[in-house]
């Protein structure tokens, strides 16, 4: 897992609309990177739906959400539409899991990212992290708010 205080590794991934998105695009802003295993699993659907519900509160704190998984862009678009979220979803598709590996979120036994939250501050520094004990357990909204308060 990436350490608090480390410079967040830059990356460029395509979003659900096929547009390139880089961490550098968020310079000067706070961003919460939400690594999750894959689109359409029941646990991932619940996790991102709950985060959508608290997104306005996060916005009041100046925090933007970005989801990252190994799914490709077309799956992200369908997933976004199916569960009714507007959080940008980035495809860590090829090379598979490269960004998850750079952030220490990769779960090798299953070949996807674990449920990991990485809060990057305005300067691009990792300010807070959380990793779920297993990919089957997602961090609730309270974990996010507790982490932001610390």
pLDDT tens per residue across span 72-115: 999 999 999 999 999 999 999 999 999 999 999 999 999 999 99
**44 catalytic residue (yes or no):** yes
Tell me if the pTM is above 0.95. yes
Within a domain: 44? yes
In a domain, 138, yes or no: yes
What DSSP element (H or E) covers 1?
none
54-63 tens-digit pLDDT = 999 999 999 9
Across 112-127, average pLDDT: 97
Task: Give the list of residues 6+ apart from residue 111 with CB closer than 8 angstroms, or none.
Answer: 70, 96, 97
In a domain, 143, yes or no: yes
Decide if 101 is inside a domain: yes
Maximum alpha-carbon separation in the chain: 38
Residue 150 has pLDDT above 90, yes or no: no
CA gap 6, 35 in Å, rounded:
18
Catalytic option among 2, 8, 34, 44: 44
- What is the CATH classification number for the domain harbouring 116? 3.40.30.10
| Domain assignment of residue 78, given as a range | 12-149
Domain assignment of residue 92, yes or no: yes
In a domain, 106, yes or no: yes
CA–CA separation, 128 and 34 (whole Å): 12
29 inside domain: yes
- Total structural domains within the chain: 1
Using CA atoms, how far residue 61 sits from 58, 81, 137, in Å, is 5, 26, 25
């Amino acid at each position: 897992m990436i350490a608090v205080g480390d410079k967040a590794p830059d990356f460029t991934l395509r979003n659900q609309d096929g547009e390139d998105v880089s961490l550098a695009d968020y310079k000067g802003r706070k961003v919460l990177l939400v690594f999750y295993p894959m689109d359409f699993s029941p646990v991932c659907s619940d996790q991102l739906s709950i985060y959508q519900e608290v997104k306005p509160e996060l916005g009041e704190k100046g925090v933007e959400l970005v989801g990252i998984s190994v799914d490709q862009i077309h799956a992200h678009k369908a997933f976004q539409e199916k569960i009714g979220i507007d959080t940008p979803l980035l495809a860590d598709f090829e090379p598979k899991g490269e960004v998850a590996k750079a952030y220490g979120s990769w779960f090798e036994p299953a070949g996807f990212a674990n449920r990991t939250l990485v809060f990057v501050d305005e300067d691009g520094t990792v300010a807070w992290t959380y990793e779920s004990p297993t990919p089957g357990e997602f961090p609730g909204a309270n974990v996010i708010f507790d982490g932001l308060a610390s």
